[in-house]
Amino acid sequence: MTEFAFAPLSYGAANVGNLYRALTDEDAREALETAWSVGVRYFDTAPHYGLGLSEKRLGTFLATKPRDQFIISTKVGRLLRPNPDGAGLLDDEHDFAVPADLKRVRDFSVDGIRRSLEESLERLGLDSVDILYLHDPELGDLGINLATGIPGLVKLREDGLVSAVGMGSMSTEALLAGARSGALDLLMVAGRFTLAEQSALAEVVPECRERGIDIVTAAVFNSGLLACASPAADSRYDYGTVPADVLARVSAIAAICAEFDVELASAALQYTLREPSVRTVVVGGGRPEQIRQNADRMRAPIPEELWAALAAGGLIPS
């Protein structure tokens, strides 16, 4: 695998695919330019994000940058196909403010994965991507999807269309199976290794350490719960409502952060980078001020005593 020069902070481009709210092309470009200006050089996207809109906007933006100065990844497992039933509707089911004139068709076959990449490259305006992830293979029969999906990825790597292959998922079962396949270079661990939830630490992270698999962490705010100074019952957690026990735990974490004058969101951004296998943290953002704020949070000083206090309180593993 190519050794990538990841910066600590990377950009997840779901927002420029109109996640939750519509952005104009100018808004999206301003967000991406801001990410570049604060030092982001790794950009992650997917066909799923805005039914291809994220890939198109990201590709247009990156066409203005030297190809050897950025890293780009996209994902496979969902093909975009015409959706006559979506005429006049928005993609509300998936929280993207885009016309539902296309639909997602799951396809983890070898041929489907190659077609997905080819179509993504056309939207991006590139002849290759650096990293290709199998996207949410747990949707459907995990065993079957991995049995075809992983060989499909490996073939594309062998053919030189991608430099590295991996899996992006919120499922520890899927991530562990991907790591144990022995064929993947990276795992994008979404929401399962955060300051609020460390289920990936039980088996996934140790497996990656043993096999030399790099980890990219995503959704480190758990959909917003860890992004606010004072977590509340109406905070968003993993795209839904926050369970009472999780809220209590995160409130205790926030209280200790306050004792050390550290913003909860800064601790959440920097926490996973303490694990040597984690190479970078992917964070979204549709507003330039959000992106600049996250860059500042990633650079904020955090005393080692804070982590020791959280561990002593049983809030993170020691």
Q: Are 79 and 107 in contact (CB under 8 A)?
A: yes
Q: What is the DSSP string of 155-207?
A: HHHHTTSEEEEEEEES-HHHHHHHHHTS--SEEEEESSSSSS--GGGTTHHHH
Whose tokens are 């601790």? That residue is: 267
Report CA 144 to chain centroid distance, whole Å. Answer: 24
Residue type, 246: V
Dihedral sign, CA of 170, 33, 298, 72? positive
Q: Are 157 and 134 in contact (CB under 8 A)?
A: no
DSSP conformational letter for 277:
T
Q: Spell 212-221 as b/e; 16+ CB within 10 A means b.
A: ebbbbbbbbb
Is 49 an annotated catalytic residue?
A: yes
Per annotation, catalytic residue among 11, 49, 133, 271? 49
Q: Are 42 and 10 in contact (CB under 8 A)?
A: yes
Whose tokens are 């999780």? That residue is: 246
Angle at CA of residue 124, ends 95 and 191, nearest 5°: 40
Q: Which residues are catalytic?
A: 49
